[in-house]
Amino acid sequence: MNAIERVEQSAHWLTQLAHGASSVLGLGKVVVTISTMARKRDLSAIWELDPVAAPPRKVQRQLMGTIEGDEQPAGGEARNDDEQRSVLELQLQHAMQQHDVERVITISRQLRGLAEAAQREAAERARARGELCVGDECFALAKIVEWEWYRARLVNVRAREPPLQVEYMATLEGEGSMLALPVPRVNHLPVQHVRISKPEPCDGPIVPPTTACVVVPALRGI
C-alpha cells in the first residue's frame, strides 16, 4: 500500500468516526474523541506526503505515542481494545438516545465481554509474576489427619498473622463435598501454606513449606 492509499484510508476512517461521534456528542467532545483516537492510528502516511511540513521526528513519536528512538510501542492489542471500546461506547450512547433496546443490550454484552477479557488477561499476567490477589483461586494446605493440599480461593487478608483468609473449595481431585473438606472451611493461613501452581504428587507425608512461593500485593497496603 503506497502513501496516498494509506492517507485515503485514514481519511475515510476519520470521516466515519466524525459522523458517528457528531450524532451523539457535542462539538467539543467530538474534537476530543477524534484527537484521542487519531493518536492510535498511523499518521506517518500523511507526514510522508509532505516531509517539509511534517513535525520533527521526536514530535511525531510523541504524537504517535511511541517510545524513544525507533522502538515500536508495546501493547498493540490493548490499544486495539481501547479503540474498540471507545467506538462501542459511542454506539451505545447513540442507541440509548434512539431508545433502541435490542441494540443497547447487544452493545452492552460486547462491552462486558471486552471488560471480562481484560480482567482475565490482567489475572494471567499477575499469576505469571507469582502474584495472588483476593478472589483468585489457589492451592492451600490443611490438616485433618495429615497435611494435604486443597483447591482453595483467597477470600481476604489481614495485618496480623496468619494473614491470608482462604476458603477450601475441593480436594486436588475435584471432590467438593463437605465431608471431603477441612473444617472450618474458611480459615486463616500463613503465606507459606498457599501456592498458585498445582502441587506435584507426593508419596510420603507432606511437609509444610517454610518459604513463600507467592506474592500477595494486598498485604503491602496493610
CB 184 within 8 A of CB 155: no
| CA dihedral (219, 220, 221, 222) positive or negative | positive
Q: What is the pLDDT of residue 73?
A: 42
pLDDT at 186: 96
C-beta pairs of 80-88 under 8 Å, 24+ apart in sequence: 81/114, 81/117, 81/118, 82/40, 83/37, 83/40, 84/114, 85/111, 85/114, 86/33, 86/36, 86/37, 87/17, 87/20, 88/114
Which pTM value belongs to this model?
0.52
pLDDT of residue 63: 56
List, run by run, the mean pLDDT of 10-residue segments along the chain (222 residues).
Answer: 50 52 47 49 53 59 51 54 84 90 91 86 79 91 93 95 96 91 95 92 88 90 77
Per-residue confidence (pLDDT) for residue 105, from 0 to 100: 92
CA 209 – CA 191 distance, rounded (Å): 10
Q: Write down the pLDDT at residue 25.
A: 46
pLDDT value, residue 84: 85
pLDDT of the residue at 129: 83
**Residue 85: in which H helix or E strand, if any?**
helix 76-97
Query: What residues form DSSP beta bridges with 150?
Result: 140, 171
CA distance 120 to 168: 22
Cβ-contact 171, 151 below 8 angstroms: yes
Q: Among candidates 221, 166, 167, which has minimal Cα distance to 191?
A: 166
Residue type for 173, please?
E
Q: E strand or H helix at 142, and its extent?
A: strand 137-143
Grid cell 498458585 — which residue? 196
